[in-house]
């Protein structure tokens, strides 16, 4: 498979709404595989297709949860041997409902490198999607998975995590990103 270039702010593609996938076929499965390769290479836990310049409603997530004290895999061979990967692909994911109860996580984004902010979102969400075989699924998520699902579905709708923080915090974060880019 291939590692795709990750689109970074302020690229306007990140603000576009992605189109639904009309048919789950080998091309879509290839995009999913490339997205996983890209996400793992960048050491992320989630990636939306728009982040690699593909305006289709596709999300990949792997929280790569490990037993207490175990470090993340350094490479694909180690991950495969250690069995720490738990990849999930979501085609046309749709947020059906969300809880009134909220939770706050320190979110980051591969499209806004090395920048993080506390974001409050619904603590649970109910999502409907298709898998890579085109089969429909529905599930309620909580914890980090709920946050990640909402973050990635936001991407499909042209929304970034920085849209959920104050203008002042967003401005500070973007200035830090620009300074980081200038300093190499």
Q: Which helix (H) or strand (E) holds 105?
A: strand 102-109
CA count, 13 A, side-chain hemisphere, 112: 23
Per-domain boundaries in the chain: 12-182
Around 37, how many Cα atoms within 13 Å sit in the side-chain half-sphere? 11
* Signed CA dihedral, 126, 130, 135, 141: sign only: negative
pLDDT of amino acid 66? 53
What value does the CA radius of gyration of the chain take, rounded to a whole number of Å?
Answer: 16
Furthest C-alpha separation in the chain: 47
C-alpha span between 136 and 45 (Å, rounded):
23
- Tens-level pLDDT at each residue, the chain (184 residues): 799 999 999 999 999 999 999 999 999 999 999 999 999 999 999 999 999 999 999 999 999 865 555 554 444 434 443 447 899 999 999 999 999 999 999 999 999 999 999 999 999 999 999 999 999 999 999 999 999 999 999 999 999 999 999 999 999 999 999 999 999 7
**Catalytic annotation present for 152:** yes
pLDDT of residue 43: 94
- CATH homologous superfamily of 12-182: Peptide deformylase (3.90.45.10)
pLDDT of residue 65: 67
Name 105's bridge partners.
119
**CA dist list (Å): 135 to 28, 55, 150:** 14, 21, 21
Q: What share of the chain is helix, strand, coil (3-state, %, to 5)?
A: 35, 30, 35
pLDDT at 68: 53
Q: Which residue among 76, 94, 152, 178 is the active-site one?
A: 152
């Amino acid at each position: 498979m291939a590692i795709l270039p990750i689109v970074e702010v302020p690229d306007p593609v990140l603000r576009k709404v992605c189109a639904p996938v009309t048919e789950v076929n080998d091309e879509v499965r290839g995009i999913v595989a490339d997205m996983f390769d890209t996400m793992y290479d960048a050491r992320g836990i989630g990636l939306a297709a728009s982040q690699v310049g593909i305006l289709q409603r596709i999300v990949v997530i792997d929280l790569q949860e490990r037993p207490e004290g175990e470090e993340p895999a350094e490479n694909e061979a180690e991950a495969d041997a250690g069995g720490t990967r738990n990849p999930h692909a979501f085609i046309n994911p749709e947020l059906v409902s969300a809880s009134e109860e909220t939770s706050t996580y320190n979110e980051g984004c591969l499209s806004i490198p090395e920048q993080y902010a506390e974001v409050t979102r619904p603590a649970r969400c109910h999502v409907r999607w298709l898998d890579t075989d085109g089969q429909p699924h529905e599930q309620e998520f909580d914890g980090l998975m709920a946050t990640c699902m909402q973050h990635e579905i936001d991407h499909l709708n042209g929304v970034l995590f920085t849209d959920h923080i104050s203008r002042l915090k967003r401005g500070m974060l973007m200035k830090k990103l620009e300074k980081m880019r200038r300093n190499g």
